[in-house]
Structure 1
Amino acid sequence: MSVPQRDDQIRTPIFNAMPAAVLILATAILASAAITALSPEAGRWILASSLVISGPAGTALPAQPLGHVAPLLLHVFIHFGLLHLVMNLAVLIGAGRAVGLALGGGIRGTAGFLVFFFMCAAAGAALEVLLPHDGIVQMGGASTGVSGLIAAAGWVRGGYRGMLGLALPWIGFNILIALTGMVLPIPISWAGHIGGTVAGALLFPLALATFGEGQGRDGGDGGRFSA
């Protein structure tokens, strides 16, 4: 069912108001994919430097060029196949636009967006590392940070209730993946998604209060943007 809109409510094309932080992240992710495709040697270095690697306690993990801490942030730049890349970019653009507009397009808002995104990514990666594993597990992809954006977009669109409306179904879906994985292993980091989502739900009101320049700075029901 369509809802009539006044002239001043008609949405402009999504890329006409794309926050700088979203463009920066999307460009960096695409650049990483392009370098990996065009230069296998450089791609192998990027992969080795960015993969989050974890395993059973006491297991000797493979050496990484930048150590085992840097990948907690860098993993967002590597993806395993075109579908993985496109799916994460689609949510980054959709949810990220709403979050970026709420924080504002200036330097402060852009910095706040990036800090928030990488904190969610690190939280998701940390939860993946902390969970017990039967063998060595490798994780990559922007979905940890993107999961935080899903919760944040809910805050922007409808405050606490809006956040729950987006975050809970996503968490529930990943719990289902976890349960299914007990019978049929699925190469999806459900823990990374849940960790990123929970971090987004907890951290976005603080990010909005600290860095917000745009409308909806209070994070309440009054600040609504369409993703």
Structure 2
Amino acid sequence: MSVPQRDDQVRTPIFNAMPAGVLILATAILASAAIVALIPEAGRWIIASSLVIGGPAGMALPAQPLGHVAPLVLHVFIHFGLMHLVMNLAVLIGAGRAVGLALGGGVKGTAGFLVFFFVCSVAGAALEVLLPHDAIVQMGGASTGVSGLIAAAGWVRGGYRGMLSLALPWIGFNILIALTGMVLPIPISWAGHIGGTVAGALLFPLVLASFGEGRGGRPGA
């Protein structure tokens, strides 16, 4: 199965015709970062409500204002430092634009983009929580969702082979982080990245067929 690439996805400059789904997510992420930076009390509540928290089996986890399920979605809106924020926004804009254009710019395509992004985010966060841990771990950032967009952008660029050409190197890089972390801990959620990527690779053709508008919604043979 392959996903067709439209001519306007190749020829249009990256900052032209930015899909609504990308703009909605980028605006929400930037607004959250601004609140955290400028309104400390509100920022602390946002972080406490949005952090994904995992720990050893049977251990009682710290209480969170909105419980432990809401952060599976909300974690994409919080970031730890400017570099973390900029890197995720860069991938959101680059890969997200290609995916958004493939789905279409109408209400249906935008809804499909957001559904896809958050399903990938939940998949990545869930894998992080479900993995065995010997201590409390906390996770935040949009990289779970943008990892799914990387795989989806591969589908758009070149069908199944295009997806593999982007997804496999990213998965391999995160496996390397995991192995390195056994010796020297690295504060990167490699499991969240892999979970989001795998979800994106598996789900994008289905999301495109269900939500895509016009030609973009018809996967090729």
The normalised TM-score by structure 2 is 0.93
| Cα distance in 1, alignment partners of residues 76 and 101 from structure 2 | 22
What is the SS of the residue equivalent to 2:56?
Answer: coil
Distance in 1 of aligned mates of 2:9 and 2:106: 24
Question: Of the two structures, which has the highest relative contact order with CA contacts closer than 8 Å and spacing of 6 or more?
Answer: 2
Is this contact kept in 2: 1:19–1:105, CA < 8 A?
A: yes
3-state secondary structure, aligned to 1:88: helix
Aligned counterpart, 1:195: 195
User: Contact (CA 8 Å) 1:112, 1:211: kept in 2 or not?
Assistant: yes
Tell me how far 1:15 sits from its aligned partner: 1.9
Distance in 2 (CA, whole Å) between partners of 1:41 and 1:31 is 15
The aligned residue for residue 147 of structure 2 is 147
Q: Percent identity?
A: 90
Shift of 1:17: 1.1
What is the aligned length?
Answer: 221
**Hey, what's the Cα distance between the residues in 2 that align with 1:56 and 1:3?**
41
1:5–1:123 Cα change, 3 Å: closer
User: What is the root-mean-square deviation of aligned Cα atoms in Å?
Assistant: 4.4
C-alpha distance after superposition, 1:14-71 (max 9, x if no partner): 2221000000000000000000000000000000000000000111111000000000
- The alpha-carbon deviation at position 226 of structure 1 amounts to 18
Equivalent pair of 1:96/1:149 in contact (CA under 8 Å): yes
Q: Does structure 2 conserve the Cα–Cα contact (< 8 Å) formed by 1:98 and 1:226?
A: no
Deviations along 1:66-87, one digit per CA (max 9) or x if unpaired, are 0000000000000000000000
Q: CA deviation at 1:12?
A: 3.5
Distance 1:145 1:37 in 2: 23
**2:117, 2:82 → 1: CA distance?**
22
CA contact (8 A) 2:3 2:155 kept: no
Are residues 7 and 160 of structure 1, via their aligned partners in 2, closer, same or farther at CA, if it must alter by over 3 Å? closer
Does structure 2 retain, via aligned residues, the 8 Å contact 1:101–1:215?
Answer: no
Cα pair distance change 1:36/1:3, threshold 3 Å: closer
- Taking the aligned partners of 2:132 and 2:50, their CA distance within structure 1 comes to 21
8 A contact 1:157–1:226 mirrored in 2: no
Q: Distance in 2 between matches of 1:138 and 1:97?
A: 29
Gaps of 5+ in 1: 217-222
Cα offsets for 1:130-180 (capped at 9, x unmatched): 000010000000000000000000000000000000000000000000000
8 Å Cα contact 1:156/1:225 also seen in 2: no
Structure 1 residue 4 displacement after superposition: 22
Aligned to 1:220: none
Distance 1:56 1:24 in 2: 36
Would you say the 8 A contact 1:158–1:224 is kept in 2? Answer: no
- Note the C-alpha offset of 1:214: 4.7
Alignment of 1:49 with 2:17, yes or no, is: no
Distance 1:132 1:106, change over 3 A: same
In 2, distance between residues paired with 1:68 and 1:8? 42
SS of the residue 2:15 aligns to: helix
1:157–1:225 Cα contact (<8 Å) kept: no
What's the CA shift string for 1:173-221, capped at 9, x where partnerless?
A: 00000000000000000000000000000000000000001543xxxxx
3-state SS, counterpart of residue 16 of structure 2:
helix
Residue 52 of structure 1 contacts residue 138 of structure 1 at CA under 8 Å; is this kept in 2?
A: yes
Structure 1 residue 2 displacement after superposition: 26
Determine if contact 2:2/2:219 at 8 Å carries over to the other structure: no
CA distance 1:53–1:64, change in 2 (3 Å):
same
